[in-house]
């Protein structure tokens, strides 16, 4: 699942950017230079989203870029950040839940012959079903 959120970047006199993601309450980070700040913003926002999903909370809808103003401090601007939640979860999430499900025997036999990873298929199907409109 990929999401796009606007983020406010504020440059200080030492070359550090403070980054605030307004739609994700309390999601604030910083980085030395724009590239590091952008990376840190994506990392912090992915962590925020993943924690919310794991806790069963709703994900806030992203504001439109032109609706967000970076006027809290001088040298502020708004930039979009792209969040790859699946990649982030693969790298950092260790929280899993075991589920038992029932499928027809013939389908199980075919899937096993094809070396299908049942957990991966169920995960992909659930993500498509739940988040296709996000």
Structural domains in the chain (count): 2
Q: Are residues 111 and 88 in the same domain?
A: no
- Indicate if the pLDDT at residue 38 is higher than 90: yes
Domain that residue 130 falls in: 96-134
Q: Are residues 66 and 103 in the same domain?
A: no
pLDDT for position 91:
85
pLDDT band for position 94 (cuts 50, 70, 90): low
Helix axes 33-54, 85-92, angle to 10 degrees: 80
Q: Are residues 107 and 132 in the same domain?
A: yes
Q: Are residues 109 and 74 in the same domain?
A: no
> For the chain, first and last CA: distance in Å?
9
82 CB neighbour count, 10 Å cutoff:
12
Torsion of CA 34, 28, 13, 37, to 10 degrees: -10
Q: Are residues 30 and 52 in the same domain?
A: yes
pLDDT for position 34:
96
pTM of model > 0.75:
no
pLDDT band for position 97 (cuts 50, 70, 90): confident
Q: Are residues 121 and 88 in the same domain?
A: no
* 56 or 96, greater pLDDT: 56
5 - beta bridge partners? Answer: 81
pLDDT for position 74:
75
Q: Are residues 31 and 84 in the same domain?
A: yes
Q: Are residues 12 and 55 in the same domain?
A: yes
Q: What is the mean pLDDT of residues 46-66?
A: 91
pLDDT for position 133:
54
Q: Are residues 64 and 116 in the same domain?
A: no
Q: Are residues 63 and 110 in the same domain?
A: no
Q: Are residues 60 and 102 in the same domain?
A: no
- Indicate if the pLDDT at residue 113 is higher than 80: yes
């Amino acid at each position: 699942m990929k999401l796009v959120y606007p983020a406010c970047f504020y440059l200080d006199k030492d070359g550090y950017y403070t980054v605030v993601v307004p739609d994700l309450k309390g999601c604030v980070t910083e980085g030395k230079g724009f590239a590091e700040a952008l990376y840190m913003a994506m990392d912090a926002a992915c962590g925020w989203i993943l924690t919310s999903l794991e806790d069963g909370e709703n994900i806030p809808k992203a504001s439109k870029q032109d609706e967000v103003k970076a006027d809290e401090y001088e040298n502020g601007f708004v930039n979009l950040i792209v969040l790859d939640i699946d990649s982030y979860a693969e790298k950092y999430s260790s929280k899993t839940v075991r589920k038992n499900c029932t499928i027809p025997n013939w389908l199980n036999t075919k899937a096993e012959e094809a070396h299908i990873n049942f957990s991966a298929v169920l995960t992909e199907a659930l993500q498509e079903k739940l988040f296709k409109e996000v």
